[in-house]
Structure 1
Amino acid sequence: MKELLTKAQAMLTKLWNFLLPLWSSLLTRWNAFLEKLSTINIPFLNKKLSPGTIGIAIVVFFAIIVLVCLKSCGKNIVQAPVPVTTALPLSQEIRSFATFDGVVDPYLTVNLDARVKGYLTKIGFADGSMVKKGDLLFVIEQDTYIQDVKLKQAIYTEAKLEYNRQKSLLKENATSQAAVDKALSQYQQSEANLTLAKINLGYTEIRAPFDGLMGRHLLDVGTYLDTTSKGVQLSTIQQISPIYVYFSLNERDFLKFEKNQDPNTERKSEVNTLPIYAGLQSETGFPHEGVLDYAANLISTDTGSLQLRAIFKNENYQLIPGLYARVMAEYGPTRQALLVPMTAVMTDQVGNYVFVLDEAKRAQRADITLGQRFQQNVEVAKGLTPNSQVVINGFINLSVNQVASPTQVTLEAIKLR
């Protein structure tokens, strides 16, 4: 850095040494010229003019010539109108809304567990497939449980016959009441054991508890299932029709909504009444319609937000658990508003403004107050009328009071969802 400064200083010194003699030469020639002019006698003056006076007169003379030329040239300059595109503000009925980031979550999630021991003999679904309620998903080795049912059935049949025989003998006073009671107990025990055997046999087949989306199987065919009190998990099934979307309302927006509430009206819960709309990243707008289904009763001190949940029918299974979703909630009454393209709005230190054309097609600045944004358009709460000719294209070349050559177009109505 020091070397660069040294080189720069040396170059400036050389430049000064070159210009100084040249400037001195020019001053000498100019003074000589003025001395010659001062020797000229002017008839109507009785004295000679000094060189300084002559120099000032020459400068004034040339200045007058420049001003006259500029004035005469300016009269002949006619600025052409600037081509622009204009449109009347879009007058449309709208409603206030708020958007959130949400996450899709299943309506139900159930772990499919094996409740009896045995070898896994069959898997009846493809991983990640949709299944119907009652579809056979897993089969556990059944032979042992089938034979157990037959054994308990035989014992039950024998106990039932013995109980009926003892009752008949009691009517003939050929047996005691104790024998009848004992036969009844054995009959009831065998009936219960038979019921338990049939239940265990039923546990060897695991079926879908509802229409849902299957996860992957966690154990393969041939695996021995040595169950515990909690069972052995085989897979997971999720119900995704209907389906939930969770989202949160931060504290700042919550207070804003509370402020907009009419204190004189009765406070009513929006749960199961407020429409909620959602859209995925690959979708335009918010094509999925649901309803607010849950609102937490307090704001989390950890996140500073209020958790909300909406439920959607999801009949076509377009919403899949884990997906990110854009969520929109409308609130407040509908109102008639004026909308202009967001690209037509400019901002400076004073605030937001647009250019409008007056009756003489001259550009005028119109200071505006913005409301909510709707896609590519924005609400103008103050500053325009329905008949304002708003410049939506070409305003970059405009200035106040400049004449424009407008081409008027009509703004298309927007879809709010």
Structure 2
Amino acid sequence: MRRDHRARSRTRRVWAAIALAGTGLWLSGCEEKNTYVPPPPARVTVAAPLQQSIVPALAFTGNTAAINAVDLVARVEGFLTAIDYTDGALVKKGDRLFLIQQNTYIANLDAAKASLTSAQAQQVNAAGEYNRQATLGKQDFSSQANVDKAKANLDMANAGVQSAEANLEIANINLGYTTVSAPFDGIVTRHLVDVGELVGHGAPTTLASIVQVDPIYVYFTVSEQQVLRIKEALAKGGQTLSDIGAVPVFIGLQTEEGYPHEGRLDYISPEVDPSTGTLQVRALLKNADHALMPGLFVRVKVPTRPVPDVLLVPDIAIGRAQQGSYVLTVNVDNVVEQKIISTGDLQGGYRVVRSGLAPSDRVIVTGIQRAAPGAKVDPQPAGPDDLPAPPGRPAAQPPAPATSPAP
């Protein structure tokens, strides 16, 4: 019994040793599997600020207006006999649009011609009688009274001819009024009367309207300070406000990207409106394709004088926070830093940076969501697909990407 007890004790000690050895091996294996491996730095793309000369622009809103717009009216009475255009058609200057009954006015013209012929015959007769009486008077064969009477008859005959000529001219004018033609190139509205209607009875009758849309006006208002900036830009080129025709103006519709329509300043009001402190300004634009029509709400851009060596960064790289606008940059240790900047106008896909950024800074342009201030990143130079086209250059010529500074 005692021998069996000792054997069982040895067996328990052996199994306990084996269990302890297994536990050590298991713990050793767990320590190797749980070793922490930090993730690699986030990959971002960076680019140096673009530095170049730009032309800032003043932005306004305005409205288009027709350069000419008139009502076509019947100035003589008669029945409308023809409408020679299609509603909304583009017509040329001199094209006949309406025709009013002409027979009455042709008859009046013929009567005026006959009256003139009669008056001219009387004039010839009166002139002959006066010459005869004047000759006899010089020879004392006719009294002065007869000479004076012949002179008076001649004067009346001359006046009769002049009156007949005026009546003939009026008859010609009235006959011309029976034809209503286009006073300029333009688009004619729908007709307001139909063939067979009596027009011009008692007062002029509006038949339609015609609007000239090429060229076209754009009206907008500017402040006194903005006019002074335009004047300053002209002065830089040796010009004055009398040379406003040299100032370009760019127009964009609400549905268009940018400002595809170009024109020139045409007029600046000579006085400031005291109630608003603004001046009315007008631009003149070519509109051969009729892309613009009167009454449209448009965006207006007027360039000012160039500004050299301006820093520009892609607008997509700029964030907004409570402190203001900012960009994320990468320092020499590849650590992300946040820089508060002061921004200016938008130039294409770039934003002007007035302060807070240096030309040598590496600005994060993509991968911003993976970058946090104080974190280390893996910066890569930005490629052409990462950057917008620089202002004034084609998209195929992006600025050179930033490279990592030498350690």
State TM-score, norm by structure 2. 0.75
The question of whether the paired residues in 1 share the 8 Å contact of 2:70 and 2:211 is answered with: yes
User: What's the counterpart of residue 56 of structure 1?
Assistant: none
Q: Deviations over 1:108-136 (max 9, x none)?
A: 11111111100011111111111101000
**For residues 300 and 178 of structure 1, do their structure 2 counterparts lie closer, same or farther at Cα, with a shift above 3 Å needed?**
closer
Cα distance between partner residues in 1 of 2:317 and 2:356: 14
Identity, % of aligned pairs? 35
Q: Does 1:91 align with 2:51?
A: yes
| Cα displacement (A) at 1:257 | 6.6
Q: Does 1:319 align with 2:292?
A: yes
Q: Does 1:199 align with 2:159?
A: no
143, 160, 184: which one aligns with 1:210? 184
State TM-score, norm by structure 1. 0.74
Q: Does 1:331 align with 2:304?
A: yes
Matched residue pairs, number?
A: 341
| 5+ long unaligned stretches in structure 1 | 1-71
Cα distance between partner residues in 2 of 1:365 and 1:320: 48
User: What's the counterpart of residue 6 of structure 1?
Assistant: none
374, 378, 391: which one aligns with 2:364? 391
Q: Higher mean Cα deviation, 151-160 or 348-357? A: 348-357
Q: How does 1:257-276 map to 2 (within 5 A)?
A: 268-269=240-241, 271-276=244-249
User: What's the counterpart of residue 238 of structure 1?
Assistant: 211
Q: How does 1:282-297 map to 2 (within 5 A)?
A: 282-297=255-270
RMSD: 3.0
Cα distance between partner residues in 2 of 1:257 and 1:123: 48
Cα distance between partner residues in 1 of 2:311 and 2:33: 45
Q: Does 1:225 align with 2:199?
A: yes
| 5+ long unaligned stretches in structure 2 | 1-31, 137-146, 394-407
382, 391, 402: which one aligns with 2:375? 402
Q: Secondary structure at the match of 1:100?
A: strand
Cα distance between partner residues in 2 of 1:145 and 1:308: 47
User: What's the counterpart of residue 136 of structure 1?
Assistant: 96
Q: Does 1:156 align with 2:116?
A: yes
| Cα displacement (A) at 1:226 | 3.6
**For residues 334 and 395 of structure 1, do their structure 2 counterparts lie closer, same or farther at Cα, with a shift above 3 Å needed?**
same
Give, as a single letter, the amino acid of the residue that structure 1 aligns with 2:282.
R
Q: Deviations over 1:170-220 (max 9, x none)?
A: 333398223222222222211111111111101100111111121121111
| Cα displacement (A) at 1:319 | 1.4
User: What's the counterpart of residue 85 of structure 2?
Assistant: 125
Cα distance between partner residues in 2 of 1:368 and 1:73: 47
| Cα displacement (A) at 1:100 | 1.6
328, 331, 352: which one aligns with 1:379? 352
Cα distance between partner residues in 1 of 2:356 and 2:201: 74
| Cα displacement (A) at 1:327 | 0.7
Cα distance between partner residues in 2 of 1:413 and 1:394: 19
**For residues 407 and 130 of structure 1, do their structure 2 counterparts lie closer, same or farther at Cα, with a shift above 3 Å needed?**
same
**For residues 274 and 232 of structure 1, do their structure 2 counterparts lie closer, same or farther at Cα, with a shift above 3 Å needed?**
same
Cα distance between partner residues in 1 of 2:319 and 2:100: 71
The question of whether the paired residues in 2 share the 8 Å contact of 1:92 and 1:413 is answered with: no
User: What's the counterpart of residue 389 of structure 2?
Assistant: 413
The question of whether the paired residues in 2 share the 8 Å contact of 1:163 and 1:184 is answered with: yes
| Cα displacement (A) at 1:294 | 2.3
Q: Does 1:247 align with 2:220?
A: yes
The question of whether the paired residues in 1 share the 8 Å contact of 2:229 and 2:304 is answered with: no
User: What's the counterpart of residue 316 of structure 2?
Assistant: 343
